[in-house]
Structure 1
Amino acid sequence: MLIWTLSVGQVSCCDYSGSMCGARGPGDIIIGVLNACHSKVANLEGRIQAERFNCTGFDLESFVETLAVIHTIDTINDSGFLPGIRLGYLVCDTCSDASKGIQDAIHMLAINQTKPFGCDLIERPLVKAIIGARYSEVSTAVARLLGLYMVPQISATSSANTLDDTLRYPSFLRTIPSDVHQTHALAQLMAHFKWNWVGVVSGDDDYGRAALHDFLKYAEDVNVCAAFNEVIPHYLDHPESRRRIDEVATHIQSSDARVVLLILKGQLVEQLFRVMISKGISRTWIATDSWSQYQAVAEMTGINTIGDVFGIRFITGPNPGYEHFLTNLSPGPGAVNRFIEEYKDLRFECTPEAQKHQDCLKDRPADQCPLPDSLKLKSKLACVLPDPQKANDDFLAQAPDQTYAHRLATWSIAFALRSLLQCNTTTCPGERDFKPGNLLLEMKNVNFTLDKRQFYFDKSSLATGYELINWVKRQKNRHFEVIGGYNVTIRTLGIEEKTIEWHTPNKTIPESKCSQSCPPGTFKKISMIFCCFNCSECEEGSFTNDSDLPNCLKCPGGTWSLRGAKKCYQRTESFLKWDDPFAISLLVVTGIGLLLLFSIFVIFLTKRSSVIFKVAGGEIVFVMMAGLAVSFGAVVLFVSKPTDEICKSRQTVYGLGFTLSVSCILVKAFRTFLAFLFDMNQQHMLNKLYKPVVIVVSGTGIQGLICTFWLIFDAPKVDRETSRQSMKIVLQCNEGSNWGFGIMLSYIALLASICFLLALKGRKVPQRFNETGYIIFSMIIYLFVWVCFIPIYVTKIQQRPAVQASAIVVSNFGIIFCHFFPKCYMMLCKKKHDTDRRSYLKTVHNFSISTISNELSYTPDSGHGSDVENSFEKSFYITDAGASTPNSSRASAMTMKAESHNTGISSSNQIRQRLRAKSL
């Protein structure tokens, strides 16, 4: 390893024996080159006084970039682009250190025997322009110094956006885009693959800090968050570097971020990856331009276990003759290049370690002779060739060509010189010892075409772009493939995803998210960090049709959705439809009821002359049937889509029909009650109220008035009931005034209660005249059904039509079963002598005697026996009147009276005994 001896002093342009720089080429106009041919300065941390810088760690990549500038200068000279002008060069090694770079810049300005620390400004230094430096930290420091003398500085690798400040760095230019574009491209890359949870590791230099700041700003714009942000010392020999790299590796391993952005120089990435490989950690790595094509990392042992690697690099282009130049390295006529000498010693010089390795290969297989890191640059020809300085091979030509920006930098100076020196095809008559500021002005305005592409400086950067590369596995190493690009003009990233072969187990795009994706139907509920969220279901009336939407969309155009919906639909109307199973069952039962009514009507019509028909009520039963038929008809109105007219009709039809039937039952209950009422005074008084037609018409008419007032003041109408938790629009009848609906039902209940009480009072009647039991039971059924109906009707809003229709059907069948079925059974199944007129009169006769006996047993002997007999006579008359047999009943009563008279018994006790015996 060479140790460069550096000192500050006045050195002749032609005397390089004590020069601080390692390469020079003679010429009329000298171009300075600042590059990091070595990666570090040894023992920089322990310096306590001014001393020499000892540079170590030969940087092959930087060396190749330096050779690209020398080759381009030679190409320009050989092409006659500047007639009569030969460009020279002076290459100084910054050793990746800003202080060393400043020292080199001072040396370049001092080689014209000027005094850079004097009070006078340097107006005409020999070095008219400087290409470099490699790292932004060094360029920033050097640009401050060169800006003082307005010496043009053009870099092909320093991309920190702070160098865009023309106020602080007025003479700085570069042939690559600013990191403003690179960080924007990196953020777009992560957003493209939906990596919103990434780790960031950066250096503590100006480049790392500026790139980190810009990335975080642009990442936030595309909803990408930093899971962690770690910083590693930029200086390679920093005493904390090893510890910090181990800590960063541990943090990466423990983090759930699967994508890590490394804003570091290649040597630091190499150290970090060694730890990653040893721990078996695999991630998706994103490389900045500083290491995106760093060959040493791509050829590391175990690099294929590290995971996917994507990088950003500057656009490349051809460099004619450069490959031939690399395979035939020599300083050239009149030139001195100690960097080439150092490289050839590293490559071809025989060392004891190299000799030992070659001896091992003679006796053992290659896998048993591991190659030490110090011999990675060593050629197989080492220890074979007699003179290392005369040896050459294609080793450097095999590395990826990353020198296009250096070629552009050199040519941009040449085009500016051609304009400044007023060159034509034969000569350049302009002044050669010009002020550097004049060249700077020409460089800022230069506009040239190279390789059929046009280049110019936009502010301080050349208008170029980036290429997106993928590190593809090739045997044990990686090689670089272009998979896309970034246009700095329109600020868009294009990626050819089909060309990417992912290194994940399932060969799919890896995920790197703080939270799992929210599927359609949910939205992201952001937590403290906007990339971290919980998935919440969309509320009713909203939806999401894509993943990871920040908000739910409102349902458009009257559509609706339930909670967690992926799309909205039209609401469906809900009502009791004809094809509904319950509606079908209800209609079938209603049809059966109507059929039964019709059958009963036929039976009663054919048996209308029988005593049973007359005991059942006579012609009034047909009125009852008509009321029940109307009530059954109302059930049909509860099925199908309701309208305002149907809503008004169904309650009215039911109310009037069922009221008509109950009014008829009231007549029957009242008749039975009067027929067997033995209090003659009460019977005589109540008999005046027994007007069947008046009772039926009045009872039904009152209900008609109730319904009329109800329809006039607040009639039922259709309501469209919607619920946030339902996709249905419930079409049902709003009964309007609850008072009207309640009074209508209460009125029927009042009539039913009166029937119940009358039947209960007159329940001790002959078995064959026992209508009271049926009346009681039918009214109990009705009252029970409608008492149960009320709470169900109130709570089950959507089932109201079905509930009320069911209540109507049950009430109707209660009347049919209680009032008509027993009579039909007697008409059809009983023997004729059990149901004829004589049998009924005999029953009345026996019941009368029994009842008189009971009455007399509680009557004192006061001579009122004849009054009791008259009472029974009247009662039988009423009963007979109800049964349309008044003469027979009266004859029975008269016979009883005559029999009592003929016996000559005047004592009430004797009459009581006779009656008891007679009743037996």
Structure 2
Amino acid sequence: MDTSNVVLLVFFCFSSAVSFPLRSSSCHSQGQFHLNGMHQSGDIVLGGLFSVNFLTTASDLSFTSEPQLPTCYGFDIISFRQAQTMAFAIDEINRNPNLLPNLTLGYSLYDNCIHLAIGFSAALSLVNGQRKEISLEGTCEGNPPVLGIVGDSSSTRTIAISTVLGLYRVPLVSYFATCSCLSDRKRFPSFFRTIPSDSFQVRAMIQILKHFGWTWAGLLISDDDYGVHAARSFQSDLGPIAGGCLAYTEILPWTNDRSELKRIVNVMRKSTARVVIVFAHESHMLNLMEEVVRQNLTSLQWMASEAWISAALLQTPDLMPYLSGTLGIAIRQGELSGFRTFLLQIRPDKQHNSSHGDNMVNQFWEQMFQCRFAPTPAGWIENGGALCTGQEVLEDEVAEEFLDVSDLRPEYNVYKAVYALAHALDDMLQCEPGRGPFSGDTFLLIWFLQLAYYLENVNFTTSFGDQVSFDEYGDALPIYDIMNWRWLPDGSTEIRNVGEVKRSPSGGEEITLNEDRIFWNFGSKQPPQSVCSESCPPGTRVARKKGEPECCFDCVLCSEGKANNKTEDFWSSPQRDHCVPKKTEFLSYHEPLGICLTTTSVLGTFVCLVVFSIFICHRNTPIVRANNSELSYLILLSLKLCFLCSLLFIGRPRLWTCQLRHAAFGISFVLCVSCILVKTIVVLAVFRASKPGSEASMKWFGALQQRGTVLALTFVQAAICTTWLVSASPKPHKNTQYHSEKIVYECVIGSTVGFAVLIGYIGLLAILSFLLAFLARKLPDSFNEAKFITFSMLIFCAVWVAFVPAYISSPGKYADAVEVFAILASSFGLLVALFGPKCYIIIFRPERNTKKAIMGRKAGS
């Protein structure tokens, strides 16, 4: 047995076993953890950790007897529903023929009782198993008790568990641990989570502040890791992102300390900040609001973290006059089809025969419906003597909260965590032996390493339409719902979804807000103003206040030689005594670069006309007729349009030029490339028809079919352009970010996806043309058109592959210049490669422009 196997086996024996003397061939467990759980067997088993009981009673400490785990009580039906979500997801996966086919998933779920010792013991039991004896003579081959774990729900417990399990790369996918410290890949190499970290939560809230122009806000935090990490993130991120600063930061006490709460409310009253951000748990917020009501502190805009945005205990008639209008972020809500039906099928008479004992389900029935197990034919009876038959009991009002699946948030994270493990398993099992990322013996550590590797690369879309993948830190693609509290006239409370914040493709935050749905708890029914100092009017300048944050300043008259104007189109004069219009910059017809590109465009158009004239004058010669003259004329026409459309990129951007430039460019190039593609297909078809018995194939490639194919391919690009222009039309934009003293006029493309699809469709046709032409390059043709098409497509693809990085890295007018250069270069490449050899023969070697000469070459090929 090698060293790795020994170390791994020692770890698995560590928590509940002790080794015998060296001559013994096994180690024996000295006891077992008695844990509340729920189990289902399967070919592969996944573990889960959930907080089903939320209270514990510690056992008496004694140095003469074995310590016992605390006793759990206080059943939480919402956490039990989260555990059932994992069972539901596994049941759904087992019924899915496309995911893990011919394989059954099982589960082993334990209750951590919101207690670190119990949660840690449960985690060790999952990876260790509850076997009484472990042989030391084996090779540790085969499946471990569980391959991956869903949990834990607390950052504190997750840190402790992942610190140990990470040593052996046991995958741990949390659905509720948000501490940003867990993104440390060195400390937690196999940790993943489907909930955004606290750092993104802070940045999401800052985006809301930035959207409404709130640069002056107060911050209240809880006295724990959750609040402290949030405060640090606000201090580091608020200024750079939103240009704002904090009016104050106060720590809410754990207990209802009247004097401390009174002091905090007085700080809030004296502050000019109208926006108050609270990163705390609902119990902290409840204590604070009691003092707010007592002092009648109104006219505040509350912003809630995800910890209390859905807290029902705060939505009372006494508190809603103060909390109505609250804005906050919540865990992404999802819909799980069939979940309610699954919950209705939870019956102890189906599960109490489990070999492990499903005491979670038993406890659910005992706590919620006063049902207990008794040795009767029915198995389960009610305390009063009536049978507990199952579904009709669950339909009772007492289970209304448990069966409410209209607002599934933590449950949706559990669902995504299970599916992430399943997709990673599916990818891992499809790997062919010897071709995967790992090699060597298949001992348990390799199982864990492989699953962790495939989890890092997992990428799928849920049935709700959300993409799930993990970044290099194990964090899922972050997304939050933005919620708004509204107090209705009948005294009830409505929590509305008014938008979302998610990570943008560029890596920043992208906010979407439906302001028409937001309820503001102010007389004006408008968002409040929360700034430390108003912007300085013209003729004054900013004077920083010593010892104050950057967003607090005075406005003083401009000194001699200085000027200030709040209009973006103006800049101070060299003498700084008055405002002058800023310089403007765009790709102009009057500058050398614009003149050069314009001249080249006109030259290309002229060359196209000359080539077209040559082909018309010699249309009856063999070399023109042999190369599909109709398609050649269409290619020349489209190339002429390509040269002309480059002129739309030159000159000051206007709405019609911004909208037309990419549409004209895209359609012109697709017309050209589709003609080349059809031409290539015809070359292949002609050669195939020359073989005995294949003459009938040419009827599918007649002139009518050729025109129809070109028209259909071009129509697809026209549809793409139309969709783009309708949904997110390009438009002119005055950019002052590149140079503060200069305005750069540019066209924003509106939709990156639209532009990418337009370019991608052209690239797809070009690559297809290249591949077909490459296959046909050695056909025994007299004047093999496929060779020229191959070369032309090679030039075309090379130009546009080089275009992408050059375009992205070029600012302002140089981005337009790069695109014009790419259009002209690819157009000239196609013109020269396709028509240069033909024009050379027509003009300079007319003796080769005969049928006899062409047939002669063919014979000699």
**TM-score tier after normalising by the smaller chain length:** 0.5 to 0.7
Q: Provide the residue aligned with 1:215 in structure 2.
A: 234
* Aligned counterpart for 1:461 among listed residues 460, 469, 475: 475
Letter in 1 for 2:485: W
Counterpart CA distance in 1 for 2:124 and 2:195 is 25
CA RMSD of aligned residues (A): 4.4
Task: Kindly indicate whether the alpha-carbon contact (under 8 Å) linking 2:219 and 2:250 is maintained by their aligned counterparts in 1.
Answer: yes
Q: TM-score, normalised on structure 2?
A: 0.52
Task: Kindly indicate whether the alpha-carbon contact (under 8 Å) linking 1:421 and 1:431 is maintained by their aligned counterparts in 2.
Answer: no
Letter in 1 for 2:557: E
Counterpart CA distance in 2 for 1:343 and 1:479 is 30
* Aligned counterpart for 1:140 among listed residues 156, 159, 167: 159
Q: Provide the residue aligned with 2:417 in structure 1.
A: 409
* Aligned counterpart for 2:43 among listed residues 28, 31, 34: 28
2:268 is equivalent to residue 262 of structure 1: no
2:319 is equivalent to residue 319 of structure 1: no
Counterpart CA distance in 1 for 2:458 and 2:271 is 49
Q: 1:443 to 1:114 in 2, by over 3 A?
A: farther
Q: Provide the residue aligned with 1:448 in structure 2.
A: 460
Q: Provide the residue aligned with 2:858 in structure 1.
A: none
Q: Provide the residue aligned with 1:291 in structure 2.
A: 308
Deviation at 1:195, TM superposition (A): 2.0
Q: Provide the residue aligned with 1:76 in structure 2.
A: 93
Counterpart CA distance in 1 for 2:497 and 2:319 is 23
Counterpart CA distance in 1 for 2:297 and 2:244 is 23
Letter in 2 for 1:485: E
Counterpart CA distance in 2 for 1:325 and 1:453 is 22
Task: Kindly indicate whether the alpha-carbon contact (under 8 Å) linking 1:298 and 1:479 is maintained by their aligned counterparts in 2.
Answer: no
Q: Provide the residue aligned with 1:532 in structure 2.
A: 552
Q: Provide the residue aligned with 1:308 in structure 2.
A: 325
Q: Provide runs of 4+ in structure 1 moved above 6 Å.
A: 46-49, 120-123, 238-243, 381-386, 430-434
Give a deviation string over 1:155-180, Cα, whole Å, max 9, x none.
12222221111100001011233333
Q: TM-score, normalised on structure 1?
A: 0.49
Task: Kindly indicate whether the alpha-carbon contact (under 8 Å) linking 2:218 and 2:277 is maintained by their aligned counterparts in 1.
Answer: yes
Q: Provide the residue aligned with 2:716 in structure 1.
A: none
Task: Kindly indicate whether the alpha-carbon contact (under 8 Å) linking 2:44 and 2:147 is maintained by their aligned counterparts in 1.
Answer: yes
2:179 is equivalent to residue 164 of structure 1: no
Counterpart CA distance in 1 for 2:139 and 2:524 is 65
Deviation at 1:315, TM superposition (A): 3.2
Q: Provide the residue aligned with 1:470 in structure 2.
A: 484
Task: Kindly indicate whether the alpha-carbon contact (under 8 Å) linking 2:303 and 2:327 is maintained by their aligned counterparts in 1.
Answer: yes
Counterpart CA distance in 1 for 2:37 and 2:279 is 30
Query: 1:34 is paired with a residue of what secondary structure?
Result: strand
What percentage of residue pairs aligned between the two structures are identical?
26
Q: Provide the residue aligned with 1:392 in structure 2.
A: 394
Give a deviation string over 1:562-618, Cα, whole Å, max 9, x none.
xxxxx789xxxxxxxxxxxxxxxxxxxxxxxxxxxxxxxxxxxxxxxxxxxxxxxxx
Letter in 2 for 1:230: E
Query: 1:395 is paired with a residue of what secondary structure?
Result: helix
Deviation at 1:300, TM superposition (A): 7.5
Number of residue pairs aligned between Structure 1 and Structure 2? 511
Deviation at 1:382, TM superposition (A): 13
Letter in 1 for 2:323: I
Q: Provide the residue aligned with 1:230 in structure 2.
A: 250
Deviation at 1:404, TM superposition (A): 2.0
Counterpart CA distance in 2 for 1:254 and 1:63 is 45
Query: 1:79 is paired with a residue of what secondary structure?
Result: coil
Letter in 2 for 1:461: D
Q: Provide the residue aligned with 2:502 in structure 1.
A: 487
Task: Kindly indicate whether the alpha-carbon contact (under 8 Å) linking 2:53 and 2:72 is maintained by their aligned counterparts in 1.
Answer: yes
Q: Provide the residue aligned with 1:194 in structure 2.
A: 213
Letter in 2 for 1:224: G
Deviation at 1:115, TM superposition (A): 9.4
Task: Kindly indicate whether the alpha-carbon contact (under 8 Å) linking 1:61 and 1:294 is maintained by their aligned counterparts in 2.
Answer: no
Counterpart CA distance in 1 for 2:84 and 2:329 is 23
Counterpart CA distance in 2 for 1:47 and 1:479 is 49
* Aligned counterpart for 1:439 among listed residues 451, 455, 460: 451
Give a deviation string over 1:819-853, Cα, whole Å, max 9, x none.
xxxxxxxxxxxxxxxxxxxxxxxxxxxxxxxxxxx
Counterpart CA distance in 2 for 1:249 and 1:400 is 33
Task: Kindly indicate whether the alpha-carbon contact (under 8 Å) linking 2:562 and 2:576 is maintained by their aligned counterparts in 1.
Answer: no
Task: Kindly indicate whether the alpha-carbon contact (under 8 Å) linking 1:36 and 1:95 is maintained by their aligned counterparts in 2.
Answer: yes
Deviation at 1:321, TM superposition (A): 0.8
Counterpart CA distance in 2 for 1:240 and 1:99 is 28
Query: 1:64 is paired with a residue of what secondary structure?
Result: helix
Alignment of 1:573-592 (within 5 A): none
Counterpart CA distance in 1 for 2:232 and 2:184 is 16
* Aligned counterpart for 1:104 among listed residues 122, 129, 139: 122
Q: 1:197 to 1:30 in 2, by over 3 A?
A: same
Alignment gaps of 5+ in structure 2: 1-13, 19-26, 372-381, 433-440, 582-861
* Aligned counterpart for 1:420 among listed residues 402, 416, 428: 428
Q: Provide the residue aligned with 1:648 in structure 2.
A: none
Counterpart CA distance in 1 for 2:318 and 2:346 is 29
Deviation at 1:95, TM superposition (A): 3.5
Task: Kindly indicate whether the alpha-carbon contact (under 8 Å) linking 2:481 and 2:500 is maintained by their aligned counterparts in 1.
Answer: yes
Alignment of 1:490-529 (within 5 A): 490=506, 491=508, 492-516=510-534, 518-527=536-545, 528=547, 529=549
Task: Kindly indicate whether the alpha-carbon contact (under 8 Å) linking 2:541 and 2:556 is maintained by their aligned counterparts in 1.
Answer: yes
Query: 2:407 is paired with a residue of what secondary structure?
Result: coil
Deviation at 1:538, TM superposition (A): 3.5
Give a deviation string over 1:449-482, Cα, whole Å, max 9, x none.
3335543221112224222222233443433322
Deviation at 1:345, TM superposition (A): 5.1
Give a deviation string over 1:210-231, Cα, whole Å, max 9, x none.
2321222110212322222233
Deviation at 1:240, TM superposition (A): 8.0
Task: Kindly indicate whether the alpha-carbon contact (under 8 Å) linking 2:482 and 2:500 is maintained by their aligned counterparts in 1.
Answer: yes
Q: 1:317 to 1:255 in 2, by over 3 A?
A: same
Task: Kindly indicate whether the alpha-carbon contact (under 8 Å) linking 1:256 and 1:512 is maintained by their aligned counterparts in 2.
Answer: yes
Query: 1:71 is paired with a residue of what secondary structure?
Result: helix
Letter in 1 for 2:422: A
Q: 1:345 to 1:312 in 2, by over 3 A?
A: same
Task: Kindly indicate whether the alpha-carbon contact (under 8 Å) linking 1:559 and 1:568 is maintained by their aligned counterparts in 2.
Answer: no
Q: 1:480 to 1:560 in 2, by over 3 A?
A: same
Q: 1:185 to 1:454 in 2, by over 3 A?
A: closer
Letter in 2 for 1:503: N
Alignment of 1:618-697 (within 5 A): none
Q: Provide the residue aligned with 1:130 in structure 2.
A: 149
Counterpart CA distance in 1 for 2:133 and 2:252 is 39
Q: 1:189 to 1:111 in 2, by over 3 A?
A: same
Query: 2:95 is paired with a residue of what secondary structure?
Result: helix
Task: Kindly indicate whether the alpha-carbon contact (under 8 Å) linking 1:542 and 1:554 is maintained by their aligned counterparts in 2.
Answer: no
Task: Kindly indicate whether the alpha-carbon contact (under 8 Å) linking 2:53 and 2:113 is maintained by their aligned counterparts in 1.
Answer: yes
Task: Kindly indicate whether the alpha-carbon contact (under 8 Å) linking 2:51 and 2:111 is maintained by their aligned counterparts in 1.
Answer: yes
Task: Kindly indicate whether the alpha-carbon contact (under 8 Å) linking 1:129 and 1:151 is maintained by their aligned counterparts in 2.
Answer: yes
Task: Kindly indicate whether the alpha-carbon contact (under 8 Å) linking 1:114 and 1:125 is maintained by their aligned counterparts in 2.
Answer: no
Task: Kindly indicate whether the alpha-carbon contact (under 8 Å) linking 1:416 and 1:443 is maintained by their aligned counterparts in 2.
Answer: yes
Counterpart CA distance in 2 for 1:161 and 1:264 is 16
Q: Which has the larger radius of gyration?
A: 1
